[in-house]
C-alpha cells in the first residue's frame, strides 16, 4: 500500500514547519507505518507499539529530513529502525520480567503461527549481526526498497549496499540454519 498522493509535499511542508502539516502528515502515513511494522513484528500489539514509536520519531525528526531521498524512502528507514528497536526493548523487558522464573515450555507448533515464529527468528538473526548490515538487508528484503534507493538513503555507493546486503544475507542464513 503506497503512501497517499501528496505525501511528499506534505512532508516537505512539515519539514519547513508549516502549521498543521505535521499533524496531517502523521494521519496520512500512520496506516503505512503500521503495515510496515506488522511486516517485521508478529504480534499486532507489538506492531502498534512500534508504529507509535516510529510516528513519534517522525514528529521529532521531520526537521532533519534533508530530502536527499524521497520521504517514502526516509520513512521506511525510520520505521524499520524503530520496529527493530521496539523488538529489542520488548525482548529486554521480557528477560527482566522473567529473570529467576523458569523458561516456559517451547511453543506448541500446532498452535503457533509459522509466520510469527519465522519473524521472531529473523529479528533475532538481524539483531545478532552488525547494525549496518541489518539495516541494509531489512530495507531491501523486508521493506522492498531498490538498491539505488538504499544507496541514496544511506549515502553509500550502490556496490557497497549490494555488498552489505550479500554479507547480511549470508550471516542471517547461517544464524537461521543453526536454530
22-40 confidence digits (pLDDT tens): 999 999 999 999 999 988 8
| Mean pLDDT rounded to a whole number for the chain | 83
Mean pLDDT computed over 101-111:
45
User: Which CATH number does 7-97+113-178 carry?
Assistant: 1.10.1740.10
One-letter-per-residue 3-state SS of 56-91: HHHHHHHHHCCCCCCHHHHHHHHHHHHHHHHHHHHH
Is the confidence at residue 69, as pLDDT, over 80? no
DSSP letters spanning 90-132: HHHHHHHHTTTSPPPPPPPTTTS-HHHHHHHHHHHHHHHS-HH
Is the confidence at residue 96, as pLDDT, over 90? no
Is the confidence at residue 74, as pLDDT, over 60? yes
Domain ranges in the chain are: 7-97+113-178
Q: What pLDDT does 144 receive?
A: 84
Cβ pair 154, 140 in contact under 8 A: no
What are 119-169's pLDDT values in tens digits? 677 888 888 889 899 989 988 888 888 999 899 888 899 999 999 999 999
Q: What pLDDT does 100 receive?
A: 55
Amino acid at each position: 500500500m503506497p503512501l497517499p498522493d501528496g505525501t511528499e509535499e506534505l512532508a516537505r511542508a512539515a519539514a519547513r514547519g508549516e502549521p498543521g502539516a505535521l499533524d496531517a502528515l502523521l494521519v496520512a502515513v500512520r496506516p503505512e507505518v503500521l503495515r510496515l511494522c506488522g511486516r517485521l513484528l508478529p504480534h499486532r500489539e507489538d506492531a502498534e507499539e512500534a508504529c507509535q514509536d516510529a510516528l513519534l520519531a517522525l514528529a521529532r525528526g521531520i526537521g532533519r529530513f534533508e530530502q536527499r531521498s524521497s520521504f517514502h524512502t526516509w520513512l521506511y528507514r525510520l520505521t524499520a529502525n524503530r520496529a527493530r528497536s521496539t523488538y529489542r526493548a520488548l525482548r529486554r523487558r521480557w528477560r527482566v520480567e522473567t529473570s529467576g522464573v523458569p523458561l516456559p515450555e517451547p511453543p506448541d507448533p500446532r498452535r503457533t503461527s509459522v509466520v510469527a515464529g519465522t519473524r521472531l527468528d529473523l529479528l533475532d538473526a538481524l539483531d545478532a549481526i552488525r547494525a549496518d548490515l541489518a539495516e541494509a538487508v531489512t530495507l531491501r528484503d523486508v521493506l522492498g526498497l531498490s538498491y539505488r534507493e538504499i544507496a541514496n538513503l544511506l549515502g553509500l555507493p550502490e556496490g557497497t549496499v549490494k555488498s552489505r546486503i550479500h554479507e547480511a544475507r549470508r550471516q542471517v542464513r547461517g544464524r537461521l540454519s543453526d536454530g
